[in-house]
């Protein structure tokens, strides 16, 4: 398996008002975005080019939205990047940048 371009652990993943996992994982690897439960079971995945990542309006800095396969997922990542060697998910801003970079979109 190739090195992941982006990995975030301890991510709360939800769909509408329903929480799917409180300690999930988001991974971008080999041109695909995967949303995984804390046990590693896939919730959803799609080619990065088909994913739309954004920040919701009027939400804290730790929130991001990901549209995959016609479904919108709410992701709660860290509100700031953890210190080197410290556990915790990276900031939502880094997730959005990673999706855009992997899909070949700038800005």
pLDDT digits (tens, 9 = 90+) for 22-69: 999 999 999 999 999 999 999 999 999 999 999 998 887 889 999 999
Q: How far is C-alpha 18 from the geometric centre of its chain's CA atoms?
A: 17
pLDDT tens digits, one per residue of 78-87: 766 777 777 6
Indicate the pTM of the whole model: 0.85
Residue 53, C-beta contacts closer than 8 angstroms, at least 6 positions apart: 64, 65, 66, 67, 95, 96, 99, 100
> Over the stretch 82-106, which tens digit does the pLDDT of each residue have?
777 776 667 888 999 999 999 887 6
- What is the structure's pLDDT at 3? 65
């Amino acid at each position: 398996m190739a090195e992941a371009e982006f990995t975030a652990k301890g991510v709360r993943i939800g769909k509408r008002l329903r929480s799917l996992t409180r300690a999930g994982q988001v991974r971008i690897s080999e041109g695909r975005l995967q949303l995984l439960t804390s046990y590693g079971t896939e919730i959803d995945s799609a080619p990065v080019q088909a994913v739309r990542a954004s920040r919701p309006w009027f939400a804290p800095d730790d929130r991001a939205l990901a549209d995959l396969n016609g479904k919108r997922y709410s992701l709660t990542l860290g509100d700031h990047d953890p210190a080197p060697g410290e556990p915790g998910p990276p900031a939502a801003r880094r997730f959005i940048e990673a999706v855009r970079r992997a899909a070949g979109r700038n800005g």
